[in-house]
Amino acid sequence: MSQTGTQSEHHGPEMAGLSALGLSATGRVFWNLGTAALCERAVARGEARLTDTGALVVTTAQGAAPGRYLVREAGEDGAGQTGAGGDIALLPRQTFETLKADLLAHAGSRTLFGQEAQADAGPGRRVALRVLSEQAWHALLARNLLPAPDAAADTGAAGADNGPHLTILCAPSFRPDAERHGLGPAGAIAIDLDNGLALVAGTARSEAIREALFIFLADRLAGRGVLALRGAVTHGPAGDVALFLGTSGAGKTALAGYCAQAPVGDGALAWQSEGVFVLETGAYARPADRLHPPEAAPGFGAVLENIAVDPDTRVPDFADAASAALARAIAPAGPDRRGGSLGAPTHLFMLVQDRLGVLPPIARLSPEQALYHFLSGYGAGGTGETPEAAFAPGFAAAELPGTTDIQGRLLRDLLAAHAPTCWLVNTGWVGGQAGSGRRVPLETSRRLVDAALAGELAAGEWRTDAHFGFAVPTALEDVDPRLLDPARAWPSQIEHGVAARRLAGLFGAHFARFETAFGEGVRGAQPGMAMAAE
């Protein structure tokens, strides 16, 4: 293939050629183009439009999410699926190789855009990355989110001289064949962890590229004593580090951004003995979570995904996008975002969006309870008036390739070493389930988090929750006392008790899978659960 641009020596001599990948045909590759060049090409190729501030606007599929697949070697058990929630399916090696050959043949005749980057989890734990896509804005996505390679840095792993540790090849125009490739109809993310190759086929969603990256990082870093997380990290009022975890949409960006002018990191993070490292230095957020004026209308180089734009004024409609599940705003790193260690977290907030309306808006957790809730990863699902309990261990079950036990042990050790104050924050419903109760006001969540960081909650009075055993503050200035005691917010305390016992039983049933590995370690977290389930 014809190649244009500059390849980084950091990624080894084979970056100059794609023969090792098997991509050699009549197409062309543009390497490491700058922001202006990528914006020009994205608009000229019809991939994107410009807003009034110079940001790109792109539209991706609104249907079902692409399937996630990991390569299964011959002889491995293929009955069923891997991944904590069963959301990552196993793909036989032979089927993956067929998909790879077909996708490479498809991409080889097209123009591709390549970006080199790295994810820095500390000395000896840097991961060299390469993103190749048919679409120029995907290269801009990688450029916005990930740091450029540091030629002077130690990549830490053998093989750095032979190319990147991970190559992500994205071909939205490639349509997998269900029978030939063993994939679903909504596109696919197929990952060969052993050989560092991720194929994104049949979808242009930015999240597909991020998921491929995170799955690989979670697997690779876990084997090196590093806990990979999806979350937000910021500095509190005293300069201490606050870490926010939670499933997508739980409010990590909204609350972390309130603690400071902007989160220091928001996306893929790494927590290890030296502290928290930011792997994705750019900003990737739902429009509803973008709080500050500089972020309200992203400018040149930013990407707005699935956000409507006025055809005349070219002004983005963020109000409409706030309710769109797949709307995203992706911007390059600002001055507050940096790599390197931020230090050990002083506070760890686990955010849950409880659609059942059972949990208090904030509770203080013991280390054992924090481990329990991390492994549970509760976040009620369902829609409308039929909420359901859903559990995503590590708050990213679909993205953890069979490493949940390792992740749990890493968190247990990090909690013991760094001793952060741990909190459970319900950003969901109170006074009843979704459909009959009401959302916890964002202002209330902000006030509670601010009080936790400032030590105001620690100085107050506490009660022990009868159903879950964690500590709940009884009062806080400017917060309705009924919100702090969910039973009082329900029309009937008896109804709340029934709902709480049911949820506690669901917690216990889900956690049964971890009893062998963690039963002893979280025994102190279980009594409230056990009483509630009786």
DSSP state letters, 343-379: --EEEEEEEE--TTS-S-SEEEE-HHHHHHHHHH-B-
pLDDT tens, residue by residue, 380-414: 766 666 788 888 899 875 656 567 889 999 999 99
409 membership: H or E segment, kind and range: helix 404-418
Question: For the stretch 294-316, what's the b/e string if a residue is b when 16 or more beta carbons lie within 10 angstroms of its beta carbon?
Answer: ebebbeebbbbbbbbbeeeeeeb
pLDDT bracket for residue 22 (50, 70, 90):
confident
| pLDDT tens, residue by residue, 166-186 | 999 999 999 998 889 988 878
- Angle made by CA atoms 145, 406, 416, in degrees to the nearest 5: 90
Q: What is the DSSP string of 48-114?
A: -EE-TTS-EEE----SSPPEEEEEE-TTS--SSEESTTS-EEEEEHHHHHHHHHHHHHHHTTSEEEE
Q: Which whole number is the average pLDDT over 193-215?
A: 95
pLDDT at 470 over 70: yes
Mean pLDDT confidence for 408-435: 95
For 376, the token pair is 């549970």
**Mean pLDDT to the nearest integer, 263-272:** 89
Global confidence as pTM = 0.89
Residue 52 and residue 311: Cα distance in Å, rounded? 10
447 within 8 A of 456, measured Cβ to Cβ = no
> Is residue 77 pLDDT above 60, yes or no?
no
Average pLDDT value for residue range 143-171: 75
- Angstrom CA distances, 161 to 128, 165, 217, stand at 10, 10, 19
| Confidence label for 515 from pLDDT (cuts 50, 70 and 90) | confident
pLDDT band at 360 (very low <50, low <70, confident <90, very high): very high
Neighbours of 509 (CB within 10 A): 12
- Nearest Cα residue to 164 out of 103, 228, 122, 119: 119
Q: How much is the average pLDDT of 29-55?
A: 96
CA gap 326, 310 in Å, rounded: 19
Longest dimension (CA), the chain: 71
pLDDT band for 84, please (50, 70, 90 cuts). Answer: very low
CA dist 212 and 70 (Å) reads 10
Nearest to 528 by CA among 421, 370, 369, 404: 369
- Indicate whether 155 pLDDT > 50: no
Half-sphere exposure of 15 (CA within 13 A, CB side): 31
Q: Which of 195-199, 211-215, 519-523 has the weakest average pLDDT?
A: 519-523
Q: What is the DSSP letter of 210?
A: H
Distance CA 338, CA 294 (A): 18
Which among 266, 260, 264, 255 has a CA at the least distance from the CA of 231? 266
3-state secondary structure of 147: coil
**How many other CB atoms are there within 10 angstroms of residue 467's CB atom?**
22
| C-beta of residue 460 within 8 angstroms of C-beta of residue 475 | yes
The structure tokens listed for 337 are: 């975002």
CB neighbour burial string for 153-169, b if at least 16 within 10 angstroms, e if fewer: bebbeeebeebbbbbbb
Q: At what angle do helices 367-376 and 493-511 cross, to 10 degrees?
A: 80
The helix/strand/coil state of 209 is: helix
Quickly tell me which residue has 């990930």 as its tokens: 146
> Regarding beta strands 421-426 and 345-352, do their DSSP bridges make them parallel or antiparallel, or are they unpaired?
parallel
Instruction: Evaluate if residue 89 carries a pLDDT over 60.
Output: yes
Q: Which domains does the chain have, with CATH numbers?
A: 2-216 (3.40.449.10), 350-361+370-378+385-391+421-533 (3.90.228.20)
Say yes or no to pLDDT of 472 above 90. Answer: yes
Q: Which of 473, 474, 484 is nearest to 440 (CA)?
A: 484
d(CA 211, CA 70): 12
User: Is pLDDT of 75 > 80?
Assistant: no
At 339 the pLDDT is 66
Q: For residue 152, count CB atoms less than 10 angstroms from its CB and return exposed for 0-12, middle for 13-18, buried for 19 or more.
A: exposed
Q: Are 87 and 397 in contact (CB under 8 A)?
A: yes
Spatial contact of 241 and 275, defined as CB atoms under 8 Å apart: yes
| Residue keyed to tokens 């009884």 | 474
